Amino acid sequence: MMKISFTINKKPTTVEVDGNTPLLWVVRDVLDLKGTKFGCGKAACGACTLHVDGEAIRSCSYAVKFVEGKEVTTIEGLGNADNLHPVQQAWIEEIVPQCGYCQIGFMMATAAMLEKIPQPTDEDIDNNIVNICRCGTHYRMRKAIHRAAEIKNQSPQNQTS
């Protein structure tokens, strides 16, 4: 057991767990944030995607000991009903989810991509967003990603003075 201190959705926190526990289980079971999902446990599907220091990380394959001193962002911290993240807003507008299970991972991967590629092409989307969706909602996801980029680039903090 070890104490690991980090911020979770901008809130400082300390957990005392076995350092090799996957971050996914610390987030879900210790911190009670159920948005991030278990899909495969082998970093193959992306359902567990969250951000560590702004980078998309597959939390099922990330030992919590590596998160010491870092900033973790889950879907709960991406935005909320009063202050939607552009990705969340676009996902609602385009009515993307079917069963919804994989969608958190897709949204987190998309949010991470848009920080680095503000106007992704379809090829950028193909290369960066490789999560698995068994319902096949990819077509609406692609539209939502383009829409999210549009919303983000129109937002006040992105306007040039």
Q: Does 60 bind other proteins (CB under 8 A)?
A: yes
39/97 with CB nearer other proteins: 39
3-state DSSP call for residue 92? helix
Q: How far apart are CA 89 and CA 136, in angstroms?
A: 20
Integer-rounded Cα Rg, in Å, for the chain is: 16
Query: What's the token pair of residue 137?
Result: 């909602």
Nearest-approach distance from CB 64 to other proteins, in angstroms: 11
Q: Does 109 bind other proteins (CB under 8 A)?
A: yes
Q: What contacts 7, CB < 8 A, 6 or more positions away?
A: 13, 70, 71, 72
Q: Does 86 bind other proteins (CB under 8 A)?
A: no
* Residue of 128, 140, 143, 146 that binds other proteins (CB under 8 A): 128
78 closest CA partner among 9, 26, 29: 9
Q: How far apart are CA 129 and CA 50, in angstroms?
A: 13
- How many chain residues are in contact with other proteins, going by CB under 8 A? 29
Q: Does 71 bind other proteins (CB under 8 A)?
A: no
* Residue of 58, 85, 147, 152 that binds other proteins (CB under 8 A): 58
Q: Does 30 bind other proteins (CB under 8 A)?
A: no
Q: Does 116 bind other proteins (CB under 8 A)?
A: yes
Q: How far apart are CA 147 and CA 157, in angstroms?
A: 17
17 closest CA partner among 28, 74, 9: 28
Nearest-approach distance from CB 5 to other proteins, in angstroms: 19
11/150 with CB nearer other proteins: 150
Nearest-approach distance from CB 67 to other proteins, in angstroms: 10
